[in-house]
Amino acid sequence: MSALLEVSGITKSFDGFKAINNLSFSIDAVELRAVIGPNGAGKTTFMDIVTGKTRPDAGEVLWGEGSRSLLKMNEAQIARAGIGRKFQRPTVFEDQTVAENLTMALRADRSPFAVLRWRPSRGSQARVEDLASEVGLAAQLARKAGELSHGQKQWLEIGMLLAQEPRLLLVDEPAAGMTLAEREQTTTLLCRLAETRAVVVVEHDMDFVRRLNCKVTVLHQGAVLAEGSLDHVTRNPDVIDVYLGR
């Protein structure tokens, strides 16, 4: 399987401190990947670089079949190229219904001129219903987003990202603050989404990572420390040292 995202030799320093240190990393077009690592390992900075929020000092980030450089694109262009990012805190419109939130997300998909002309159509209503069922919110379409549980808000936001048909979804700590039942549903959702696209999950919660049952990349000091199954990486003495702080 060819790589969808290829990060090679990226470095990013903040005031002389290397948050990312010659990091190389690649993601297949259809893959679920967990990225773990202790606090300050560079996980957020890595996602900031891929989404164009932060520019690396050196290295390359290539995207898609044409190996286009993401470093030549701004955040909006990267999002339009097919990279969606889910931040830890849900940012849904609380006073709008689930359907309205999803409708707005469909609209955000369009070019500036198309947005001006855009009107909800029967097709877009069907798409909103499809998105809601995809994230388990079909029965909540008429509810205000503010009334949803924390987990449901997270799923709504994932649905809003799906409206833009991303080829790569970056998901930051999805399990945080969720009930056990919500975590299980989130695992199922992420695994299903990764059947047709690339999904990268940054997560601290090892139980959650175990349930994802996918390849794990361990970051430490801005570089890849280990990669493989969770059992494989947690047996690695370097990983054990880093996590136990020895």
Q: Which stretches of the chain bind ligand ATP, using CB under 6 A?
A: 14, 19, 37, 39-45
Question: Whose Cβ is closer to ligand ATP: residue 219's or residue 230's?
Answer: 219
Distance, in Å, from the CA atom of 102 to the CA atom of 228, rounded to the nearest integer, reads 36
Question: Whose Cβ is closer to ligand ATP: residue 40's or residue 228's?
Answer: 40
Question: Whose Cβ is closer to ligand ATP: residue 42's or residue 166's?
Answer: 42
Helix boundaries (H) for 73-205: 75-81, 98-108, 112-117, 122-134, 150-162, 180-193
Both structure tokens of 213:
């049952």
3-state class percentages of the chain: helix first, strand second, coil last, to nearest 5: 40, 25, 30
Question: Whose Cβ is closer to ligand ATP: residue 44's or residue 236's?
Answer: 44
Shortest distance (Å) from residue 185 CB to ligand ATP: 24
The angle formed by the CA atoms of residues 106, 108 and 109, to the nearest 5 degrees, is 70
Shortest distance (Å) from residue 203 CB to ligand ATP: 10
Shortest distance (Å) from residue 64 CB to ligand ATP: 25
Shortest distance (Å) from residue 100 CB to ligand ATP: 32
Shortest distance (Å) from residue 5 CB to ligand ATP: 17
Question: Whose Cβ is closer to ligand ATP: residue 43's or residue 167's?
Answer: 43
Across 71-113, the runs of DSSP E, i.e. the strands, are: 83-86
Please state, as a whole number, how many other Cβ atoms lie within 10 Å of the Cβ of residue 172: 18
Q: Which amino acid is at 155?
A: W
